[in-house]
């Protein structure tokens, strides 16, 4: 065999590598810092704890009663921007309602996108102060459940509030004050 086929062993280390780099080390020199692992673990625990937002989405059911009608409103009280949520309404008519109308104040739905409402209202309108949804007549002793699926627009944060109103046409039957806190 000739010298050309057998390369010579390396006698000099590459630039920047000194003898200390090749010696065995003791301790955590070649491992992640315990401080960085603690910080990462702390951030994960904080996120899982729900302290920065909802943990399982806190829901609140508010009941508004009058001698003749009841309105239960179930919706989140704290939510994150960009999240989807549901609002459920349960109406109990103690007397005949000629034209069941739901009025949602504009301030409560600022930067909220409504994806669906079940059942669909017979008609919808807005007057700058409220969005109104007409569902037709509801007889005494009957109940109606309304489900609204919505999403918080990504740029919204802060507090939304206003009074949901259950009406017979234009006449207010029941008011339910609602408040929604939106976290970034």
What pLDDT, on the 0 to 100 scale, is given for residue 18?
Answer: 84
How many angstroms separate the CA atoms of 69 and 182, rounded?
A: 30
Strands of the chain (E only): list them.
59-65, 69-76, 78-80, 84-93, 97-105, 112-118, 123-126, 130-138, 143-152, 158-168, 171-183
pTM: 0.69
Between CA 136 and CA 101, with CA 106 as vertex, the angle to 5 degrees is: 10
Lowest-pLDDT range of 47-51, 74-78, 87-91, 136-140: 47-51
Confidence class for position 50, pLDDT limits 50, 70, 90 = low
**Beta strand pairing call for 130-138 and 158-168:** unpaired
Q: Report helix, strand or coil for 164.
A: strand
> What are the pLDDT digits (tens) for 120-129?
999 999 998 9
pLDDT of residue 31: 61
- Name the residue among 162, 177, 158 with its Cα closest to residue 79: 158
pLDDT, tens only, 63-90:
888 888 999 999 998 888 888 999 999 9
Q: Decide: residue 131, CB within 10 A, 0-12 exposed, 13-18 middle, 19+ buried.
A: middle
pLDDT digit string (tens) for 149-176?
A: 999 998 888 899 999 999 998 999 999 9
Give the model's confidence band at 13: pLDDT under 50 very low, under 70 low, under 90 confident, else very high. Answer: confident
| Cα–Cα distance measured from residue 161 to residue 104, given in angstroms and rounded to the nearest whole number | 10
């Amino acid at each position: 065999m000739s010298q050309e086929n057998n390369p010579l062993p390396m006698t000099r280390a590459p630039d920047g590598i000194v003898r200390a780099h090749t010696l065995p080390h003791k301790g955590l020199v070649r491992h992640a810092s315990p401080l960085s692992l603690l910080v990462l673990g702390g951030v994960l625990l904080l996120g899982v704890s729900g302290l920065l937002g909802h943990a399982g989405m806190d829901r609140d059911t508010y009941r508004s009663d009058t001698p003749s009608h009841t309105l239960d409103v179930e919706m989140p009280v704290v939510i994150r921007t960009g999240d989807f949520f549901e609002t459920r309404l349960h109406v109990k008519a103690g007397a005949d309602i000629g034209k069941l109308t739901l009025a949602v104040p504009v301030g409560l739905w600022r930067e909220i996108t409504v994806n669906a409402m079940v059942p669909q209202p017979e008609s919808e309108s807005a007057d700058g102060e409220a969005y109104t949804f007409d569902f037709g007549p509801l007889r005494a002793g009957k109940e109606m459940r309304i489900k609204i699926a919505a999403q918080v627009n990504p740029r919204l944060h802060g507090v939304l509030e206003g009074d949901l109103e259950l009406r017979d046409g234009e006449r207010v039957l029941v008011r339910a004050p609602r408040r929604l806190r939106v976290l970034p």
